[in-house]
């Protein structure tokens, strides 16, 4: 019992406990906020990697469109529904419900 009173009365331990409580709950940059910010940074980094991948794919597609007329024609037909004269065009849309 006396040992417990000594620990509680220790000014350094009391100061440490107050500091920890302050940092966890009352500080402007408390620990839960820091955890939330770290998660947000990780999400943004993942989004950045996805965008870099998409940019690389788009650049590759652009190069193939610049170098090949057949690819350009295929792209125009698929993306913009262009057709040759005297040609019928059928558009099939798939509806997938989740």
User: What is the pLDDT of the chain when averaged over all its residues?
Assistant: 86
9 lies in some domain: yes
Note whether residue 72 is domain-resident.
yes
Is the residue at 30 inside a domain? yes
**Burial class of residue 77 in the structure, from the number of CB atoms within 10 Å of its CB (0-12 exposed, 13-18 middle, 19+ buried):** middle
pLDDT in the model for residue 98 = 67
Q: For the packed helices 31-67 and 69-80, what is the interaxial angle rounded to 10 degrees?
A: 120
**How far does CA 80 lie from the centroid of its chain?**
30
Provide the domain count of the chain. 1
Q: What is the mean pLDDT of residues 64-93?
A: 83
Report how far residue 55's alpha carbon sits from residue 58's, in angstroms, rounded to the nearest whole number.
5
pLDDT tops 80 at residue 4: no
Expressed as residue numbers, the domain containing 38 is 2-80
Residue 84 pLDDT > 80, yes or no? no
């Amino acid at each position: 019992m006396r040992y417990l009173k000594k620990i509680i009365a220790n000014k350094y331990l009391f100061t440490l406990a107050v500091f920890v409580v302050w940092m966890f709950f009352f500080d402007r940059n408390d620990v839960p906020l820091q955890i939330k910010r770290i998660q947000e940074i990780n999400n943004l980094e993942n989004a950045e990697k996805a965008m870099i991948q998409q940019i690389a794919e788009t650049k590759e597609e652009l190069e193939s469109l610049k170098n090949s007329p057949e690819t350009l024609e295929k792209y125009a037909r698929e993306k913009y529904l262009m057709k040759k004269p005297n040609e019928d065009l059928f558009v099939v849309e798939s509806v997938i419900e989740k």
